Amino acid sequence: MEKVLQICSSLTYGGTESYIMNIYRNIDRQKIQFHFLCFLRLPDSYEEEIRKMGGEVFYLFSPGILKIFDFIKHLKKIVKDNGPYAAMHVHVDNLNGILVFAGKFAKIPVRIAHAHSAFDRKGQNTFRNIYEEIKKYLVNKFSTKKLACSIEAAKSVYGVKKIKDVKIIENGIDVLKFQNIDITEIEELRKKLNISSNDFVIGNISRFDNNKNQIFIVDIFEKLLQIKKNSILVLGGTEGEEKKKIIEKIRRNGLEEKVRILGIRKDINIILHMFDYYIFPSKSEGLGIALLEAQAAGIPVIASNTIPQLVDLNLGLIKFESINIGPEKWASYIANSNKHEVNYNLIQTRFEERGFDIRKSVKQIEKMYLET
> Residues 91-110: what's their mean pLDDT?
94
Instruction: State the pLDDT at residue 301.
Output: 96
Rg (CA), the chain: 21
| 313, 351 Cβ separation under 8 angstroms | yes
Facing residues of 32 across strands? 2
Q: How far apart are CA 210 and CA 245, in angstroms?
A: 10
DSSP string for 96-132: HHHHHHHHHHTT-SEEEEEE------TT--HHHHHHH
Q: How far apart are CA 322 and CA 230, in angstroms?
A: 26
Instruction: State the pLDDT at residue 305.
Output: 94
C-alpha pair distances (Å), 71 with each of 11, 93, 211, 255, 287: 20, 18, 29, 46, 30
Q: How far apart are CA 305 and CA 319, in angstroms?
A: 9
Q: How far apart are CA 268 and CA 77, in angstroms?
A: 37
| 3-state secondary structure at position 179 | coil
Q: Which of 58, 138, 153, 137 is nearest to 98 (CA)?
A: 138
Instruction: State the pLDDT at residue 237.
Output: 75
What are the pLDDT digits (tens) for 153-170? 999 899 999 999 999 998
Instruction: State the pLDDT at residue 126.
Output: 72
- Average the pLDDT over each of 135-139, 239-243, 298-302 and give the range with the smallest value: 239-243
> Residues 8-32: what's their mean pLDDT?
92
Q: What percent of the chain has pLDDT over 70?
A: 98
Residue 65 has pLDDT above 80, yes or no: no
Q: How far apart are CA 81 and CA 7, in angstroms?
A: 17
Facing residues of 203 across strands? 234, 278
Instruction: State the pLDDT at residue 123.
Output: 59
pTM of the complete model:
0.85
Q: How far apart are CA 255 and CA 253, in angstroms?
A: 6
Alpha carbon of residue 243 to chain centroid: 17
| 265, 232 Cβ separation under 8 angstroms | no
| 3-state secondary structure at position 60 | coil
| Domain over 175-354 is classified CATH 3.40.250.10 | no
Domain with CATH 3.40.50.2000 in the chain: 2-172+357-370, 175-354
| 205, 268 Cβ separation under 8 angstroms | yes
What are the pLDDT digits (tens) for 234-261? 998 777 678 889 999 999 999 999 999 9
Residue 225 one-letter amino acid: L
**pLDDT classification of 372: cutoffs 50, 70, 90:** low
Q: How far apart are CA 288 and CA 158, in angstroms?
A: 19
> Residues 22-39: what's their mean pLDDT?
96
Instruction: State the pLDDT at residue 236.
Output: 87
CATH number of 2-172+357-370: 3.40.50.2000
Instruction: State the pLDDT at residue 135.
Output: 87
> Residues 334-352: what's their mean pLDDT?
90
Sheet with 166-168: list strands edge to edge. Answer: 56-59, 32-38, 2-8, 87-90, 110-115, 145-148, 166-168
Q: How far apart are CA 267 and CA 269, in angstroms?
A: 5
Angle, helices 15-26 vs 358-370, to 10°: value is 70
Alpha carbon of residue 327 to chain centroid: 24
- Average the pLDDT over each of 57-61, 116-120, 155-159, 220-224 and give the range with the smallest value: 116-120
Instruction: State the pLDDT at residue 53.
Output: 96
Residue 219 one-letter amino acid: D
**pLDDT classification of 124: cutoffs 50, 70, 90:** low
